[in-house]
Amino acid sequence: MKKRIAIFASGSGSNAQKLMEHFKGSTEAEIVLVLTNNPDAYVIQRADNFEIPVHIFDRNEFYHTEHILDLLNDLGIDLIVLAGFLWLIPANLIKRYPNRIINIHPAILPKFGGKGMYGDHVHHAVIAAAEPEGGITIHYVNEKYDEGEYIFQAKYKIDKTDNLEMIKFKGQQLEHLHYPKIVENIIKKLPA
């Protein structure tokens, strides 16, 4: 039986798209739900293109009810994948899915992590620090931003002439290359 994946995303969803492409027709796993806290997120259109249902929720539903947990339970979700999801995951989800929630961060953690460090904020910080390298970190999610156990890291060289767009591009190339493969490897290790 295929493992079942839920994706949480807040924005454009380019990583979600790569995951949808990767698992379309897979015998290992399927993406059965996309959840978002942003009713205007482009990830909704991407999910629709793959005929994957979407659940839009607000802060109250996420933090003060069991509805999301019940929804994931009802769908038999095996793994939660965060793809540009900006809210801290509540304790009830972490408790129900220990080492089954993963995230991708656009920097080599532990540098440039924590609350408020996402998207361009991370890239601006990397540029301001004159780092010679940028990169990505794929990690398990715990109760704190970007502090879960690392699963995978990859780096790219930052040239002195690189601007924000170049750094974003290099990072996104690594994300799109590695995230689907790492998610698949984790899926294969989950107990039947």
Catalytic residues, which ones?
A: 105
CB 49 within 8 A of CB 76: no
Find all residues with CB under 8 Å of 51, minimum gap 6, and list them. none
> Which strand (E) or helix (H) includes residue 10?
none
Helix axes 14-23, 164-189, angle to 10 degrees: 40
Q: Rounded to the nearest 10 degrees, how much is the dihedral formed by the CA atoms of 164, 168, 171, 172? A: -170
Nearest to 89 by CA among 79, 107, 103, 76: 103
16 phi/psi in degrees, rounded to 5: -60, -45
What whole-number distance in Å separates Cα of residue 104 and Cα of residue 138?
4
Q: Could you tell me which residues come within 8 angstroms of residue 71 by beta carbon, excluding any fewer than 6 positions away?
A: 33, 55
